[in-house]
Amino acid sequence: MIDSATLNSFEAIVGARNTLKAGTDLDRYLHEPRNNYTGQTPMVLKPVDTDEVSRILCLASETATAIVPQGGHTGLAGGAVPNESSNQIVVSLERMNAIREIDPDGNTIIAEAGVVLQSIQDEAARHDLLFPLSLASQGSCQIGGNISTNAGGTGVLAYGNTRDLVLGLEVVLPNGEIWNGLRKLKKDNTGYSLKDLFIGAEGTLGIVTVAVLKLFPLPKSRTAVWAGLPSPDDALALFNFALARAGNSLTGFELIHRTPLEFVLRNVSGRRDPLAQRHEWYVLAEISSGRSEEDANMLAEAIFAEALNRKLIGDAVLSQNEAHRNQLWQLREEMSLAQRPEGASIKHDISVPVHRIPGFIEKANPIIHAICAEARPCIFGHMGDGNLHFNVSQPAGGDREEFLALGEIISKNIYALVVAMSGSISAEHGIGQLKRTLLATTKSKTEIAMMRAIKQAFDPQNIMNPGKLL
Amino acid sequence: MIDSATLNSFEAIVGARNTLKAGTDLDRYLHEPRNNYTGQTPMVLKPVDTDEVSRILCLASETATAIVPQGGHTGLAGGAVPNESSNQIVVSLERMNAIREIDPDGNTIIAEAGVVLQSIQDEAARHDLLFPLSLASQGSCQIGGNISTNAGGTGVLAYGNTRDLVLGLEVVLPNGEIWNGLRKLKKDNTGYSLKDLFIGAEGTLGIVTVAVLKLFPLPKSRTAVWAGLPSPDDALALFNFALARAGNSLTGFELIHRTPLEFVLRNVSGRRDPLAQRHEWYVLAEISSGRSEEDANMLAEAIFAEALNRKLIGDAVLSQNEAHRNQLWQLREEMSLAQRPEGASIKHDISVPVHRIPGFIEKANPIIHAICAEARPCIFGHMGDGNLHFNVSQPAGGDREEFLALGEIISKNIYALVVAMSGSISAEHGIGQLKRTLLATTKSKTEIAMMRAIKQAFDPQNIMNPGKLL
């Protein structure tokens, strides 16, 4: 246990009103959204600036106290939840929530770690600019967490992962030193790319406090297309066709099976099937254009009319206005929530090379059904990035616990398939606590040793988010 | 000195016919293109595969022998040149020159480190695909060197630096272990981004042996535009206007002063000024389109007609066909060579935030002229990336050595300005030997310490390219 003198010293850094102690209502700091991981902590510290974060880590380093950095509590892998020992202090970045600067000439924005993602999007939009990182949890996740998990989402196809959107970082190192890497440069070949080490490191190498982010011109027009088609093979052909025609104007390409659409139609009130007839598979694509207010629609129309002509798709509907576009995307975004009323589910956030998506699905479905004949694969995801949320819902009306007992064997087989197809066991959600053991068994010894060497070099006392990632 | 038994053991790994020894004609392995750095080596080893590279580094590790990896000898910072001690063995990757696979469905290509950049471009083009990395030295530089220096060039604006084009790497570590990170994934959040450590590490952390690279659809049309305008401020306004209109279809944006154009017109036979009247500054822009064979031209015409209308430019010519497009780019690519007949020059590969380019030029020119009133700034570069080649030619007809004696004071002042404007002292050429001292004085102690910690973690004996970068 951390002695009370040490706890008092931590408290003194941020002050009593910015310290929450065990015994008070800490609930929201102690678990992740699905309640799969719950921990304990003697206190939650809420520093207001980089200097306070630095003093916290100095003290942590001196006293070998474990620190768990925390953003918006939306991570799904338990990466921001302390363990149950009450020996880990939570540092919440929520008070470091200022947008320090927006630079419309330079297309950059500087945000503190605790800024909610949507606030950055909104601030950019007020200047006719786009911050393209977009996730279901954007109303509560924080940019520091997005950076520490290299968040993905629906904008990756054209704009990249969070890694691609970060120009510079300020990070407090485990010894309390502050690294000011707040650069706005597109080119900077001056040694090892340090920012890339911290992006996706899940708080195990230091605490990200401030970031310089890239902004883009706000498209003048965006058109969403909901298309029905018979198979993932057709979806792949459509993807390659649309990419060749639209290039970087193709800003979204989601693959959706009929099952998750049915779940939404059944479990969310007021939702309608966008197409008149039933299709086994769907693609939700988006075309964006900076040319004119009509251009996205014209380009989308040309591409999907031709796709229909070539029989790549069975039917399609184009969004007629911004409200309609949002409706189509809403169907996609509600799929995760719409799974809940269908009972237990076993989820896999995986990626394979884009063109192997159809082959993956073709092999994965029989694996599931061999283990549980009535299980319902609920497949949707960012096909354009090779990323599927390969989720499996329990048999309709079946026993919840009975199905969950199959989770280990189902996941083991799915991940084995992922590895056999040169894929990733975590495309965008990270490792956290959830996949820590899996990581060690799916990476080579050489790769694990390299990661450990980096961890050892930066955090020899293992005080930064111990028990996560490695 | 390395003893002869050890040298024999190194030779045995690759065989006598793939070993060049001191005393034979090693000249091309011992200097960089400008002859600014020359070294000595007891032998040049030419491994044919990863296994041989691994055995070389195993032996190097056991015997604490320094290794200098080498690609196409085109680097300008001395990063691939051994020192003068004769204690460093050169490992040339030139025989590892196979393109192992091109995957048109997956838009990837797998190339060994010694493949010449242009061979990759050509192989991609044969499949109607684009590998967008493009440099003046593309006919001889090798992809391993491009990766180890995170090469830039003229395609960065739309497609990113080399870093953004690498999906996966195979690397032999200093202890001879092989890291197989040959992934084809767009999303993979499974721990620290190891590939990003080796990209731009200038061979100081290991030897890159194989890479998986991203390919893109080959544009259906490309139009180059040569525009004359009064000032860098106008060029910035033009850049923002064109970017807002063309988005990612704006695939090139070079800023060029009148002086380097004059050097080309004077020193390269058969070159003509693309515009009828003299302008103080020029922009060479490129518009690419995947939509149709006419689209790039139509879009370029619309944008530059409007720019003329808004008086953002004084005049412009659009390329009428592929040969004309190549002619316009040739003017740009010959600028570096065309400086040579004008006498000595002092060169600076720098970057600042894009919108500060005009301010940088406005401040840098008076600095030069205060030191040497008749010096001729010869400014051109990748404005869209914030990257200028801020070169300074000696006074016309003046004394070469007299001017070069001013190099130190000129560079010192230019780099001080770069640092004051939050820029980079090496935008795309890297550090090598040339800027090693400069690096140490322009980075914070914290940043240098972080880099040293990484180097120490990967290469505790300092056998990988010692004397470079750090």
pLDDT greater than 90 at residue B247: no
> Could you identify the residue written with the tokens 């953003």?
A71
d(CA A395, CA B302): 58
User: Residue B23: what pLDDT?
Assistant: 87
Element (H, E) at A327: helix A322-333
Contacting residues of A for B456, CB less than 8 Å apart: 457
CA distance B58 to A183: 38
Give the confidence band of A468 by pLDDT, cuts at 50, 70, 90: very high
d(CA B169, CA A131) in angstroms, rounded, equals 30
Contact B454 A456 (CB under 8 A): no
* Cβ burial A73-103 (10 Å sphere, 16+ → b, else e): bbbbbbbbbbbeeeebbbbbbbbbbebeebb
Which chain B positions have a beta carbon within 8 Å of A422's beta carbon?
Answer: 183-185
The per-residue pLDDT for A244 is 87
B321 phi/psi in degrees, rounded to 5 = -165, 180
> Cβ–Cβ of B163/A385 closer than 8 Å?
no
Contact A469, A220 (CB under 8 A): no
Summary mean pLDDT of chain A: 96
Q: How far is CA B345 from each of CA B266, B267, B381, rounded to the nearest angstrom?
A: 17, 15, 16
- Per residue in B332-386, pLDDT tens? 999 999 999 999 999 999 999 999 999 999 999 999 999 999 999 999 999 999 9
A382:B181 CB<8 A: no
**Rounded to 5 degrees, what angle do the CA atoms A238, A223, A239 make?**
15
Contacts of B180 in chain A (CB under 8 A): 444, 446
> Which amino acid belongs to residue A394?
Q
Question: Is the distance from CB of B124 to CB of B106 less than 8 angstroms?
Answer: no
The mean per-residue pLDDT over the stretch B158-176 comes to 97
What is the Cα Rg of chain B in Å?
Answer: 23
Cα(A35)–Cα(B111) distance, integer angstroms? 45
Over residues A313-333, the pLDDT tens digits come to 999 999 999 999 999 999 999
Mutate to test the interface with A, among B192, B238, B243 (most CBs of A within 10 A): B192
Are the C-beta atoms of residues B459 and B174 closer than 8 Å to each other?
yes
Helix (H, G, I), strand (E, B) or coil at A131: coil
| Closest-approach residue (CA) in chain B for A212 | B353
Give me A88's structure tokens. 């880990």
Angstrom distance (rounded) from CA B167 to CA B193 = 11
Q: How far apart are CA B134 and CA B121, in angstroms?
A: 9
Would you say residue B33 has pLDDT above 90? no
Distance from CA of A219 to the nearest CA of B (A): 8
Residue A25 has pLDDT above 90, yes or no: no
- Nearest Cα neighbor of B393 from B277, B264, B226, B268 is B264
- Are the beta carbons of A142 and A93 closer than 8 angstroms? yes
Taking only the tens place, the pLDDT of each residue in A149-165 is 999 999 999 999 999 99
In chain A, % of residues over pLDDT 70:
100
pLDDT-derived band at B32 (thresholds 50, 70, 90) equals: confident
Instruction: Identify the pLDDT of residue A192.
Output: 98
Residues forming beta bridges with residue B317, ordered by sequence position: B226
B247·A201 Cβ contact <8 A: no
Q: How large is the ipTM?
A: 0.96
Per the DSSP assignment, residues forming a β-bridge with A90 are: A44, A68
* Nearest by Cα to A414 from A344, A366, A446, A469: A366
For residue A43, what are the β-bridge partners?
A: A21
The Cα–Cα gap between B128 and B388 comes to: 32
- Mean of the per-residue pLDDT values for chain B? 96
Decide if B458 and A450 are in contact by the 8 Å CB cutoff. Answer: yes
Query: B431: exposed, middle or buried (C-beta count within 10 Å: 0-12, 13-18, 19+)?
Result: buried
Instruction: Inform me whether the pLDDT recorded for B25 exceeds 90.
Output: no
Q: What pLDDT was estimated at residue A33?
A: 83
The pLDDT tens digits for A34-47 are 888 999 999 999 99
Check whether A166 has a pLDDT greater than 90. yes
**E strand or H helix that includes residue A285:** strand A281-289
What percent of chain B has pLDDT above 90? Answer: 94
Distance CA A235, CA A352 (A): 15
Concatenating the DSSP letter of every residue in A296-309 gives: HHHHHHHHHHHHHH
Q: And the tokens for A277? A: 């007839």
CA distances from A104 to A110, A397, B295, B362 (A): 12, 54, 29, 21
* pLDDT on residue A32: 86
CB contact under 8 A, A105 and B424: no
Inter-CA distances, B466 with A391, B208, B384, B455, Å: 50, 16, 34, 10
Q: Can you give the three-state secondary structure of chain B, one letter per residue?
A: CCCHHHHHHHHHHHCHHHEEEECECCHHHCECCCCCCECCCCEEECCCCHHHHHHHHHHHHHHCCEEEEECCCCCCCCCCCCCCCCCEEEEECCCCCCEEEEECCCCEEEEECCCEHHHHHHHHHHCCEECCCECCCCCCCEHHHHHHCCCCECCHHHHCCHHHHEEEEEEECCCCCEEEECCCCCCCCCCCCHHHHHCCCCCCCCEEEEEEEECEECCCEEEEEEEEECCHHHHHHHHHHHHHHHHHHEEEEEEEEHHHHHHHHHHCCCCCCCCCCCCCEEEEEEEEECCCCCHHHHHHHHHHHHHHHCCCCCEEEECCCHHHHHHHHHHHHCHHHHCHHHCCEECCEEECCHHHHHHHHHHHHHHHHHHCCCCEEEEEEEHHHCEEEEEEECCCCCCHHHHHCCHHHHHHHHHHHHHHCCCECCCCCCCCCCCHHHHHHHCCHHHHHHHHHHHHHHCCCCCECCCCCC
Cβ contact A290:A219 at 8 Å: yes
Average pLDDT of span B194-199: 98
Mean pLDDT across the stretch A372-390? 96
Residue A364 tokens, joined: 């994965």
Half-sphere exposure of B15 (CA within 13 A, CB side): 5
Contact A253, B283 (CB under 8 A): no
Beta bridge partners of B195: none
Q: What is the pLDDT of residue A23?
A: 87
- The answer to whether the beta carbons of residues A108 and A130 sit under 8 Å apart is no
Distances (CA, A) of B232 to B255, B283, B375, B414, B422: 8, 9, 20, 18, 19
Beta carbon pairs, A and B, within 8 Å: 257
Among candidates B181, B288, B428 on the partner chain, residue whose Cβ is nearest the Cβ of A187: B428
pTM assigned to the model: 0.96
Which chain B positions have a beta carbon within 8 Å of A193's beta carbon? Answer: 150, 163, 196-197, 199-200
From the candidates A129, A189, A299, which should be mutated to test the interface with B, based on the most B CB atoms within 10 A? Answer: A189
What is the token pair recorded at A225?
């297309």
**How close B54 comes to chain A (CA, Å)?**
13
Nearest CA in chain A to B446: A179
Contact A428 B217 (CB under 8 A): no
Whether the per-residue pLDDT at B192 is higher than 90: the answer is yes
* Per-residue confidence (pLDDT) for residue A331, from 0 to 100: 96
A365-388 burial, b if ≥16 CB within 10 A, otherwise e?
Answer: beebeeebeebbbbbbbbbbbbbb
Q: Tell me what the mean pLDDT of segment B10-39 comes to.
A: 93
Q: Given an 8 Å threshold on Cβ–Cβ distance, is B185 in contact with A352?
A: yes
Distance CA B211, CA A201 (A): 23
The strand pair at B250-257 and B281-289 is best described as: antiparallel
Residue bearing the bigger pLDDT, B35 or A284: A284
